[in-house]
Amino acid sequence: MPRYALLIEYDGGPFCGWQRQSALPSVQGAVEAALRQLEADAPGIAAAGRTDTGVHATGQVAMCDLARDWDTFRLSEALNAHLRPAPVAVLAAARVAEDWHARFSAVERRYTYRLVARRAPLALEAGRAWQMRHGLDVAAVRAAAAHLVGRHDFTTFRASLCQAASPVKTLDALAVEEVAVPGGVELRFHLRARSFLHNQVRSIVGTLERVGAGAWAPERVAEALAARNRAACGPVAPPQGLYLTGVGYPEDPFAG
């Protein structure tokens, strides 16, 4: 049975997350419904990461097994036709080896969180970024973020119901990009790691926002990390600013 990798983009706003749910809309459910328009007996699909309710993606990767030997361009075109009008798009499809797995073959995940600081409402970006109406000290945010890069016990920055076997993770990069926007500034937090804990990115960004607002000193983030206690975390940032932007593999299935 041929296996295919799918590169997927979606607006998470209308969905209750990636994972299929019996009575609620999900991205996985939408893609599987489109696949079954092509092959009625198509099995379920698996993804590199299960994004939460309201979280977006520009680089989610999923895999599917199909009975037919599809031309990959025709496969992506057919899926997009059946996905309309849902805000989900298959950007590319690729044939992969039978032992390739969207989740277990991945060696890196990349996320971006968008935080906009300006007084005026977000007319065009509502639901796609977290808005603050106060200014942010970007230098302080960067100083605080530096404490989190590397291998650490991230108990403070994971959800209480996180099912990961260990809270120890290596955060390979946490870059804070400052972008001028009409009426204010946007901070884009770019994070890269092999894997993340549940709510880790949103917990980190919510805590760093407190530093930018002047409520926390940068050193307090290091203290919170060392505490290994969820109670030491700052507020959790809302989901609408979070994007899964890419998944890395030893060989890029979509290259070429």
99 is known as an active-site residue:
no
Query: Is residue 16 a contact partner of residue 24, using CB atoms and an 8 Å limit?
Result: yes
CA distance 248 to 251: 8
Which residue do the tokens 């489109």 mark?
Answer: 34
Q: Which of 11, 52, 71, 252 is catalytic?
A: 52
Can you list the alpha helix ranges (DSSP code H) found in the chain? 27-38, 72-83, 138-145, 200-212, 218-227
Query: Is residue 201 a contact partner of residue 191, using CB atoms and an 8 Å limit?
Result: yes
CA distance 100 to 10: 23
CA distance 209 to 162: 23
Query: Is residue 222 a contact partner of residue 143, using CB atoms and an 8 Å limit?
Result: no
Which are the catalytic amino acids?
A: 52
